[in-house]
Structure 1
Amino acid sequence: MSKTKPLALLPAFETGNTKAAASQAGATSADLWMTPYDQIRYDPADNVRPVDEAWVKELTALMIQHGYDKGSPLHCYVRKEGDRDLFYVYKGQHRYLAAGAAIKAGKDLGKIPLVVRAANEVDRAKMVVDGHHSNRQKAASPLDLAAAIAELRDVHLYDQKQICTELGITDQTIRDISLLEQAPAGLHDLVRAGSVAGTLAIEEIRAHGGDKALERIVNGLSKAKEAGKSKVTKKHLNVQPASHAPAVQAKIGDARAKQLFQALQSVLHDPGFGQLSPGTVHGVHAALTGLEDLLELPAKAMRHPIHTPNKHGVFDKCETIKSPRSKNKTESPAEIHLAHVEDGVWLQSFSLKLGSGGMSGLPSMHSFTATYPTRGEAIRAAVSSMTRAVECSSSMSKAKDADIVRRWLDKLWLAPDPDWTPELAAKLTAEKEVS
């Protein structure tokens, strides 16, 4: 019997009548003022915390995409200035600033909903307390996000691109969350109970697989309880059994030291290295000085052969990269096909055979939607497309070999691109600024 179970999704419901519901509930109406944005004022001194510019940018992007959520009115009071009575925001400053940025970017948000504190309730102390409590919000957990993704994918039939756009997340986030979604039900229960953080559970699943992760976390919870704690942390997962000799303090071994130095060297060769702070640049140079001969040099740019399409425009003699395969299989479940059309122009396609689902196709001059300047960029584009294909298919995402493919895609996604140059980086930056 499977140890996993699908996340519970909300059943479909029928919408009702607002006035009927209000009548049955004995509800009364209150003032909600729909106000032009330019008639609303803002004083930073009225808000408890300083502005988080990153949060404003995130909200701005959401408003440009979805408009202003009328269910989240700004909280205001009325301030007398000369002979005018003006609305001032005291709760919702980030939404206010984001709305202004969205409007400046050309988005028509319509009128903004306001809830106005009555004049006899305008008390500075109460406003400070109110503002403080409004900032105390419980963030959605990874398991909450997994349920949201599952519902959008399986019930509302969103593809992965739509899910990323609507939820403001990346392909990598979906790959991570899918690990938790497919984990054993017992692990879901531990996350829901708060016995382990969802992020730590994902790390364990990625490193050890679902069943082993559950075993390690259950053992770690026992260690945590022995120490008087109710939640597993990394230190509880790395505790050796009592019968073992005390573990020697962990040291950086030769293999890990080499890996760290190679990572530093990758930073050194990155096109954006010169844009780092002087102290960071000096630190990298100092760490690597005199040690270059001890390390394997990163892959260097090389001349790639030009591929020629057949008479139908299909590149049937292109480069193919194959994923690892399971022990009892003779074929790889996933392949990436790369066609080098001319210098600086690459095409990509892919093949997948997972569960009862599958798709395949070679690069073609008649069916491509984009070209890529380097082989590495073409590989990353294929990885992104394959991730969407796997995670948006209930058959492929739950297939036995799906984790093999996911690990392979993660490795390719993080691989350095030896053909990337400062000129390409500058060109990409310029194109982004124009767009």
Structure 2
Amino acid sequence: MSQDPAPASAPKAGASSRRPNGVEGRERAYDRFVEGNLRRNYFAHFTHGMLGMTGFRLIFAPTFVPAYLHMLTGSALFVGIGQALIQAGAIASPIMGAAQIEHRRHVMPAAMTIGVLMRIQLLGLALAGWFLTGSLLLAATFLFLFLFGFFLGSQRVAFQVVLAKVIPIRLRGRLQAWRNLAGGAIAAGLSWWAGVYLIGPNVFGNGYATTFMVAFLLTSAGLATLYFFMREPGSPTVREPMPFLQRLKEFPVLLADRDYRNFLIALVFATMGRIAIPFCIILAGRRMDIDGATIGLLSLAFLGADTLTNLIWGTLGDKHGFRFTFIGTVALWLISLAGMLFASAPWHFLLAFFGLGAAMSGNMMSVTTLVLEFGHRDDIPMRLALSTTAETTIATIGPILGGVVAAVFGLVPVFLISIIALAIALTVLVVAVREPRHL
């Protein structure tokens, strides 16, 4: 990503840019602040990310929520709809969130508000599971999943902007790797424990609801740590506020960057590869006996992969660039889904879930970090928003399409669609996207 400072108001395409008086001084003060508070901010982001990953991985693992929805409905289609609602909520919110923060010199107040609202949805899932039944429980669950996705979209933009402000590019990969390593280790053990001791015996009348409450408590602790320890510098340059619809009209300027545009294409097809994810646990259930302990064990394999591979992905990304790791994760993802398609024994599924966990955790790190490096710093919020919206739009359609295909044609075609989409994404990344650090 270019680090040359821009005018306080980003110039129109083709216009010349001149630094206004005082910008160079603000840039130097900004750099001094970042380096002077690096240890403190590194700790804050590490702890926040570690506890956040621990809680949110319980929600995003392709085990707990799909199995919960399948328990409530007995329908693969409703499993797909529930997963799609998370992504549907995140379609518009990234752009709305970016428009609210890209003109602010301090982003943390808005980021904290978004983080609190997102965590409230986990609390809602837990309370609904404990106190509601029947169709009312299903409706409330779908509502909270949708709102969780809505605030997730804005949070991804806000907190990545904060990360980009206070953590230099040379350390971002290893920071995310170490926090995911620690968070993945805790989440892996916690997922097994939740499957055996919460879901299996149906603690408090709904073991899944109890698991969601654990996720709420862990993610809230992480957010509190960030609030008390993080120190944010004022941005030396920001965009001028403009009407939301007018800002949308500037998207073609962002897409004029060929490598970013091709990155988006690869991201869209990689996201299509998620179609099969909610149905992995259902496929496993049709080929072997599934109970709470088995769900916990498969979750342990999925989340344990995070523990063993995140440091590898982060180190490789810092050293070789995150295009390199994006390619590696898509390739591993494709192989894991293909292996799951042919799995029959329990150890086959354990290995496939392990590969899938390694691929998806590295993929998330690669995508969210690589997008920070295209184009200019002042456009980071909207570039993040555009990428997140493109991703979540496809991720919304995918589970519904997967549910329909699974209901009509069976699970195998769902996996084939994912494999083909991942193969296209891999081809685009290799052929048409250059490493932005080398441009």
Provide TM-score, normalisation by structure 2: 0.22
Q: 1 or 2, which has the higher strand percentage?
A: 1
- State the structure with bigger RCO (CA 8 A, min sep 6), 1 or 2: 2
- Normalized per residue, which structure has more helix? 2
Greater Rg over alpha carbons, structure: 1
